[in-house]
Amino acid sequence: MHHRQRPEPGAARGVARPQQGRLARDVAGGPARQRWNTVGYDEPRRGLGGAGAEGGRQRRGHPRRPSPPDEGVPSRPRRLRLSRRQDQPGQGHSALSLFDGVHAVLYALFARNETVDHGAMTAQVDFCAARGCHGITVLGLATEVLKLTFEERSRLIATVGRANAGRLPFSVTIAGNSVAEQASLAAHAADAGADWLILQPPMAGTYGADIYLDFFARVARTTTLPVAVQNAPQYLGRALSGEDLVRLSAQCPNLAAVKGEDAALGIRRIIDIAGARLKVLGGRGGLEMTDCLRAGCSGFVLAPDIAPVATRIFDHWQAGRTAEADALYAEMLPAVTFVMQSLEHLITYGKRIFAAEAGITVHDRQPCLPTSEFGLATAERWARRLAELAIHKSPSP
């Protein structure tokens, strides 16, 4: 099989930190917002909260809210070049893919009465930004999306959009059992300032690939934001092949990436077949991270207990320091192994590792995995070690 030529670590697709410059303000007197653009899309889009709401001033570089479902694909350029746009006088526009790097997928944080704690969610966004994560994602599997009502999901998207305030590329995972439900949530995400979307397959029923391809295509046509699809057979029980993704890409000009919850060998198969058309991001809590980078992964979507250390690994790799990346990955791996026993284990113990690092109290929403004294002690130990690895400190004695 012919393999496409891959860039060396540190090549053009590496991640550069945002520079200070002239930043947009969506709210008069509010915080400065970094502009992130999909180059080739230049229609104005409503800011946070929609027109007339707080943050409703239009921002350049984003499309307006899309037409109702199935009214066709927007008549914008058919193949996207996705980059970060930065308005800095005298320096032009620096380019950075929205998808490159480590995107922290937020945990759902609840109050004692099991309602969503929006203050804690805001603190979580601040923690991820302070620890150097390259992007923010919400409503993934780590966000316990299936436990949230549609109204809770919509409010959570708005909270995260306001908290992020344009600092990092912002993506929203779109789950739902009908095209209408997913299209509505996608519209909420666009209004809240999302830069791209991750579409999950519907959980109602089990079907062949053609059914899922049609479903994804119909949802993608309702938005002008770039979209990815989530391939997570281990967690969702459904997946598309590389050939399926190529077919979907031909139908959806705004399909730009795939989030693959697969081993490095599976990731490489997808890249060999569809990598010329699509960015490929890994997951699985960071398992096989450096092998996935060798396979050609552009980025990762990882929970915030692991994401700060994974960010350092990614930055080492992109700078050509592959030995340092491998060594740091080896130090992180035992914690990843502990957390990634199952999705339920991640939500119970991974969340507590993050909370210990961030100084946040965890309250669970039932149903959830019960904790044990040994499990909590193990989580506390790994929280200390991951904090040391994330901020370049030597191990505790």
Which pLDDT band holds residue 204 (cuts at 50, 70, 90)?
confident
pLDDT tier at 203, thresholds 50, 70, 90? confident
Average pLDDT, stretch 181-199? 97
Q: Looking at the predicted structure, is the pLDDT value of residue 5 above 60?
A: no
**Each residue's pLDDT tens digit, 265-297:** 999 999 999 988 999 999 999 999 999 999 999
Which domain CATH number covers 232?
3.20.20.70
Name residues whose C-beta falls within 8 Å of residue 281's C-beta, 6 or more positions apart in sequence.
99, 103, 228, 257, 258, 259, 260, 297, 298, 299, 300, 301
> According to the model, what pLDDT value does residue 50 have?
33
**Across residues 307-336, what is the average pLDDT?**
97
Residue 57 gets which letter from DSSP?
A: S
Pick 167 or 3 by higher pLDDT. Answer: 167
Tokens encoding 162: 């306001």
pLDDT at residue 238, rounded to an integer = 66
Predicted pLDDT at 247? 93
Domain membership flag for residue 168: yes
Angle in degrees, CA 236, 242, 245, rounded to 5: 75
pLDDT over threshold 90, residue 227: yes
Q: Give the C-alpha separation, 99 to 367, whole Å.
A: 33
* Half-sphere exposure of residue 151: CA atoms within 13 angstroms, side-chain side: 1
How confident is the model at residue 86, as a pLDDT? 34
Residue 200 included in any domain: yes
CA angle 162, 143, 109 (to 5 degrees): 70
Given this model, what pLDDT does residue 241 score? 87
pLDDT confidence of residue 380? 97
Burial class (CB in 10 A: 0-12, 13-18, 19+), 56: middle
pLDDT confidence of 205, banded at 50, 70, 90?
confident
Q: What is the pLDDT of residue 83?
A: 46
The reported pLDDT for the residue numbered 231 is 85
pLDDT at 235: 52
In-domain check, residue 285: yes
Q: Is residue 175's pLDDT more than 50?
A: yes
Instruction: With respect to residue 372, please indicate whether it lies within any of the assigned structural domains.
Output: no
CA angle 237, 243, 248 (to 5 degrees): 80
**Mean pLDDT of the chain, nearest integer:** 79
In a domain, 146, yes or no: yes
Whether residue 213 is contained in a domain is answered as yes
- Which of the pair, 161 or 208, is modelled with greater confidence? 161
Question: What integer pLDDT is reported at residue 28 of this predicted model?
Answer: 28
What are the pLDDT digits (tens) for 333-355? 999 999 999 999 999 999 999 99
State which amino acid sits at residue 235.
Y
pLDDT score, position 261: 86
Q: 242 falls in which pLDDT band (50, 70, 90)? A: confident
pLDDT in tens, 89-120: 222 223 348 899 999 999 999 999 999 999 99
pLDDT at 209 over 70: yes
Q: Are 74 and 224 in contact (CB under 8 A)?
A: yes
Q: How many domains in the chain? A: 1
CB count, 10 Å around CB of 248?
24
pLDDT at 170: 98
Average pLDDT over residues 142-149: 95
The range of the structural domain enclosing residue 202 comes to 101-319
Q: Is the pLDDT of residue 146 over 70?
A: yes
The pLDDT tens digits of the residues spanning 42-88 come to 332 333 233 333 333 333 334 333 333 443 333 333 334 344 433 33
Positive/negative CA dihedral, 259, 108, 127, 328: negative
Q: Is the pLDDT of residue 131 over 70?
A: yes
Tell whether 324 is covered by a domain: no
What predicted TM-score, i.e. pTM, was given to this entire model?
A: 0.78
pLDDT at position 392:
63
Radius of gyration of the chain (CA): 20
- ∠ at Cα 156 (285, 72), nearest 5°? 90
295 belongs to a structural domain? yes
